[in-house]
Chain A
Amino acid sequence: MRIKVHPVLGPLKGKATIEIEVDGRRISAIPGEMISSALIAAGIKVFRTTHKKGEPRGYFCGIGQCTDCMMTVDNIPSVRTCITPVSKGMKIKTQYGHGKWEV
């Protein structure tokens, strides 16, 4: 959910003018925001599952340190979505295990 109004930060300035694709589903995003933000705004919480046990993982540290938020972005696996900005038409996939390069 986006925070449209805020007592200190004022009204939300950015507009969700672009679309990205997540596992085939189209969601809107604000240019410049991180991929993880667009996903959480759309209610998506599970970003990947672990290699051994298949456990779900999602946004955790927000600064590129924990690797919990890695997804496959435009066919490149293990992209840290919390420090990677969105771009128009980006194709994002939930990553299972280590993911794989898809060329």
Chain B
Amino acid sequence: MGSMSMLTTDVAVVGAGPAGLYAAIEAAKAGAKTTIINEYVEPGGQLTKQIHKFFGSKEHAAGVRGIDISAKLLGSIDELKVEKRMGTLVWSIFHSNILAIAHNGKSEMLRANKIILATGASENAFAFPGWTLPGVMGAGAAQTLINLQRILPGNRVLMVGAGNVGLIVAFQLLQAGSEVVAVVDALPYISGYCVHSAKIARAGIPILTSHTVKKAYGEISVEGVMVVKVDNQCKPIPKSEQDMKVDTICIAVGLTPLVELAWLANCRFTWVASLGGYVPLYDDKMETTVKGIYVAGDAAGIEEASTAMEEGSIAAISAVESLGLMTQQRAYALRAEAYERLRSFRIGPFGKLRDQGKQFIWRERQKYAERI
């Protein structure tokens, strides 16, 4: 590293989705020199391809389209003179305070007093015979094609997964002009919100619960798919196959927190199924087991844009507090307000599981602290 130039900042935010953007805004407001780094050229994270109006609370711009929320947040980032490094990958963290960044094939080192990881999530794969055929793709990948690149992936699509992502992307494929033949899910019920499944049902698209893909077939790309009914143990029921002629199969079977950087920084982890898999341990300040490294948003467990924004704020408030840029009392008060709002999101049939997941992480974090 010796000969490489060393850049410096107070707070480095990795990821410019809702969590990262809120974190950067909060840190810059408190007077910290803030740098936000994002791998994709366009900032906004998931928001850049969400053309639908977001549910959520009025304070978090619910009812506004994801693409427009992102535009508004970016305005604040510019006003507050946050340093933006877009199209820039953070590929490692050294000594828990140096970020290795790469832009257009050129590497640089950035020393940051505090690091906030808001790297979001990646799509889970789902293997079945034929799943590597061209024409099978992630639902998010299809969404990037239709909403950012304005390209139709195919004419007839099967959506695998009836969670919110599968239902929303199926609807957006219809809006783009594809035909969606069905949405299938191996679960015996629809896991996404009813408002999304109702839109799909009204459009005349069958949602087949307790169904999965047996195989996809085609010479050099997808020409069709065999869908099969499954029992409660997820075992295929003989003679229940349906042959569907499709040219595209979209996979929406869940997201996993994108946390490679936290692994590289030696953060402790735990497994929380309701939050999408392995997540770093953190406390109520969103600080991981490595001092000065915070996490927020989907990287801290898969949730929603509103919760990602609150967690981004909490992480940034804690970071600037520990930098001495905010009094303990004020930081405490702001965090308490944020947790009050978060509490109202984390109840009910969907929120409860995530709340339990968060509580579990805090307990594990506590245990870890006691062991040390």
Contacts and interface: CB of A to CB of B under 8 A. Distances in A.
Interface string A53-82: 001111111110100100000000000001
A1 B220 contact: no
Contacts of B153: 40, 59
B141 A59 contact: yes
A95 interface: no
B136 A60 contact: yes
Interface of B: 40, 51, 65, 122-123, 132-138, 140-142, 144-147, 149-153, 155, 175-177, 220-221
A62 B145 contact: yes
Contacts of A14: 150
A7 interface: yes
A70 to B, nearest CB: 13
Contact of A9 (B51, B122, B132, B151): B51
Contacts of A65: 122
A89 B227 CA distance: 43
5 contacts: A3-B152, A6-B150, A33-B149, A59-B134, A59-B153
Contacts of A46: 134, 220-221
Contacts of B140: 61-63
A38 B61 CA distance: 34
Interface in A23-56: 33-34, 37, 40-41, 45-47, 55-56
Contact of B141 (A2, A6, A61): A61
A8 interface: yes
A2 B150 contact: yes
Contacts, number: 81
Given A40-B145, A60-B136, 20 more contacts: A1-B151, A1-B155, A3-B146, A3-B151, A3-B152, A3-B177, A6-B176, A37-B145, A40-B153, A45-B135, A47-B134, A55-B132, A57-B134, A58-B137, A60-B141, A61-B138, A62-B140, A62-B142, A62-B145, A65-B122
A61 B151 contact: no
A103 interface: no
Contact of B138 (A9, A40, A62): A62
A37 B138 contact: no
A65 B258 CA distance: 12
A41 B175 CA distance: 18
Contact of B151 (A7, A8, A41, A58): A41
B339 to A, nearest CB: 32
Given A6-B176, A55-B132, A63-B144, A45 B151 contact: no
Contacts of A59: 134, 137, 141, 145, 153
A34 B175 contact: no
Nearest to A14: B150
A95 B137 CA distance: 19
Contacts of B145: 37, 40, 59, 62
B151 to A, nearest CB: 5
Contacts of A12: 150
A94 to B, nearest CB: 11
Contacts of B152: 1-3
Nearest to A11: B150
